[in-house]
């Protein structure tokens, strides 16, 4: 069996998992559509967490920490980091500080509808959290994304002394696992917290990170022509 075919078979479980994740929102379409409705109309205003600035700070620090591993793959571009940093800061300020877009939407679209059913409830740092189906699904995407970023970082860190691009570990399955992880995190937040903020920011960030992947590959090809063979054998994302 050729290496290219081997890679395809090796990636089959991951592609099946991706397919499963894609069809879940369609299986639970009513739950997901209701979730989006109550957030985009501001009906969730009665249940949002506010003025919990310690949760805002902790969340911002945790998620911005995911930017650090990306610098091991490519020289940091602070303009890109600034955009994603602004996204996370504003996101958590809205989630746990002042829900500006939900407050805005509630003034014009509030209909006093029933809220989605809570399937997970827990308490962190004295704050009660409740999650419906769609928010739990978004959290799963974020966990998978966080795993890809972390595992990619470990692979790069172990090979940091090599003066060439890394093709072992998780990079045997994906050319850009860390960027895929970041895209999953962004999609997870878009689904879990669908407001004007995430609807505007998420597509922009996803586009920018895909463009970063393409730019990175062009840069590597100029320095390492053998990277072309790697491109032919390993999928862009999965």
Task: Kindly write down the DSSP assignment for every residue of 11-75, as one continuous string.
Answer: HHHHHHHHHHHHHHHHHTHHHHHHHHHHHHTTGGGGT---S-HHHHHHHHHHHHTTHHHHTTTS-
The pLDDT of 76-98, averaged and rounded, is 79
**Alpha-carbon distance 32 to 23, whole Å?**
12
Query: And the tokens for 172?
Result: 């045997």
The pLDDT of 9-17, averaged and rounded, is 85
Do 144 and 181 contact (CB within 8 A), yes or no?
Answer: yes
Residue in the block written with tokens 């827990």: 122
The pLDDT of 152-177, averaged and rounded, is 81
Residue in the block written with tokens 């379409």: 29
Q: Answer positive or negative: Cα dihedral of 65, 66, 67, 72.
A: positive
pLDDT digits (tens, 9 = 90+) for 32-62: 999 999 999 999 988 888 889 999 999 998 8
Tell me the pTM.
0.88
The pLDDT of 187-215, averaged and rounded, is 91
- Regarding predicted confidence, which is higher, 190 or 80? 190
Residue in the block written with tokens 């955009």: 83
Within the chain, residue ranges assigned H as helices are 3-27, 29-40, 53-64, 67-70, 78-96, 100-109, 133-158, 177-192, 196-223, 227-233
pLDDT at 192 over 80: yes
């Amino acid at each position: 069996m050729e290496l290219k075919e081997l890679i395809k078979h090796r990636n089959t479980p991951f592609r099946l998992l991706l397919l499963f994740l894609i069809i879940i929102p369609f299986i639970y379409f009513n739950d997901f559509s209701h979730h989006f409705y109550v957030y985009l109309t501001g009906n969730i205003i009665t249940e949002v967490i506010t003025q919990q600035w310690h949760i805002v700070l902790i969340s911002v620090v945790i998620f911005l920490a995911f930017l650090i591993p990306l610098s091991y793959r490519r020289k940091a571009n602070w303009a890109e980091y600034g955009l994603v940093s602004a996204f996370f800061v504003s996101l958590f300020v809205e989630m746990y500080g002042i829900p500006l877009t939900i407050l805005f939407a509630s003034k014009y679209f509030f209909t006093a509808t029933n809220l989605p059913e809570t399937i997970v409830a827990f308490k962190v740092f004295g704050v009660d959290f409740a999650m419906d189906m769609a928010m739990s699904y978004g959290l799963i995407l974020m966990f998978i994304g966080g795993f890809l970023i972390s595992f990619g970082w470990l692979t790069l860190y172990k090979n940091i002394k090599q003066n060439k691009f890394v093709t072992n570990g998780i990079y045997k399955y994906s050319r850009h696992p860390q960027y895929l992880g970041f895209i999953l995190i962004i999609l997870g937040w878009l689904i879990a917290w669908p407001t004007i903020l995430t609807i505007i920011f998420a597509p922009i960030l996803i586009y920018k990170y895909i463009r970063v992947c393409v730019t990175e590959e062009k840069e590597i090809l100029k320095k390492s022509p053998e990277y072309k063979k790697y491109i032919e054998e390993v999928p862009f994302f999965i």
